[in-house]
Amino acid sequence: MIHLDTPDIRLSGATPAEYPELVAVWEASVRATHPFVTEDEIAFFRPIILHDYLKMMKLTCARNSHGAILGFAGVMAGKLEMLFLHPMARGRGIGTALLQHVIRHQGVTKVDVNEENEQALGFYQHHGFKVTKRSELDAMGKPHPILYLELDNS
């Protein structure tokens, strides 16, 4: 378990029993930060994330002093696949702490971002990621352009 500068927040892994809590954080975050994602898309992805995606990733959770999950990062093969914060947890340095942790301890050098998610793009660019490629469609073939970012170590 890693303790942050914020005394009431700590980083740790997740168990499968906590996956529903992670999905709730994901859903709240998407609703707050991804206005281009429809309710039908959320409903489509919810069971896939719960039953398939989470178990494929190395998960790191940010928890409050009561153990509630405020945000999480999911990494697979050096790529940050997920970083979501509950809307009430934003602006406290939790996303930065999660990102720095997965860069240092899990070798993250890549992340993909929806081009429409300007806040996320700015966040990753602020932390040294650069756009290397663009796709007109997302992984599901929907018209949500994707930006591929890599950590600039120069």
In this structure, the number of other CB atoms found within 10 A of the CB of residue 66 comes to 6
> In terms of domains, do 85 and 132 share one?
no
Flag whether 26 is in a domain.
Answer: yes
36 and 81 inside one domain: yes
Same domain, 9 and 56: yes
Residue 39 domain flag: yes
Q: Residue 115 CB: number of other CB atoms within 10 A?
A: 17
* Residue 102 domain-assigned (yes or no): no
Alpha carbon distance 42, 109 (integer Å): 27
CA-to-CA dists, residue 2 to 6, 18, 136, angstroms: 11, 19, 39
Distance, in Å, from the CA atom of 92 to the CA atom of 63, rounded to the nearest integer, reads 13
Q: What CATH code is carried by the domain that includes residue 64?
A: 3.40.630.30
pLDDT of residue 6: 56
Nearest Cα residue to 58 out of 40, 39, 43, 78: 78
Co-location of 88 and 117 in the same domain = no
Let me know if residue 99 belongs to a domain. no
Residue 11 domain boundaries: 2-92
Provide the mean pLDDT of the chain: 91
Question: Are 28 and 83 part of one and the same domain?
Answer: yes
CB 72 within 8 A of CB 18: no
Question: How do residues 23-64 score in pLDDT, each as one tens digit?
Answer: 999 999 999 888 788 899 889 999 999 999 999 999 999 999
The pLDDT value recorded for residue 8 is: 81
